[in-house]
Amino acid sequence: MPLSVGDTLPDADLIRIGEDGPETVSVSSLTKGKKVALFAVPGAYTPTCHSAHLPSFMRVFDRLKEKGVDDVICVAVNDPFVMRAWGEETGATRAGIHMLSDASSQFAEGMGMAFDAPPAGLIKRSQRYALYADDGVIKVLNAEESPGECDVSGGEALLDQI
């Protein structure tokens, strides 16, 4: 069952590329005492993720900060090297978005948002959603009905709800 507003984010381990290579970071350490906008995508470089979802958060990044959001985080069930490359290629990293890997699908499963789409080669991926959390507690959660859509989970939609 998916988490909902009022629930605490699962304390999964995510991976990012640091100065010395891959490093693990817990969701609790990323969110403790912070207001975060977090969005999850089915996969880096996949059509809707690449052309709509990630760019929507790049467009509203400054306005999210103006509303008191401390960090904007993108999570995908890809390896951390792919997430780094995607962030660098799109400019998301330069924009300030944290590109984090949920390589084992631990966070997607903890959110109750994991899905499989074998015909597309997507196994144990995350549904598309965006959330706003304050100190690890979900205040807004917008999940898409279809992984190919980016309407309620886009940056503008989340911005309007904060």
Q: Which residues are designated catalytic?
A: 49
Longest Cα pair distance anywhere in the chain, in angstroms? Answer: 41
Spatial separation of the C-alpha atoms in residues 74 and 16, rounded to whole Å:
11
B/e letters for 9-27, b = 16+ CB within 10 Å, e = fewer, are bbebbbbbbeeeeeeeeeb
The three-class DSSP label of residue 47 is helix
- Reported residue count of the chain is 162
Q: Which residue is listed with tokens 């790049």?
A: 58
For 140, residues 6+ apart whose C-beta sits below 8 A from its C-beta are 5, 130, 131, 132, 158, 161, 162
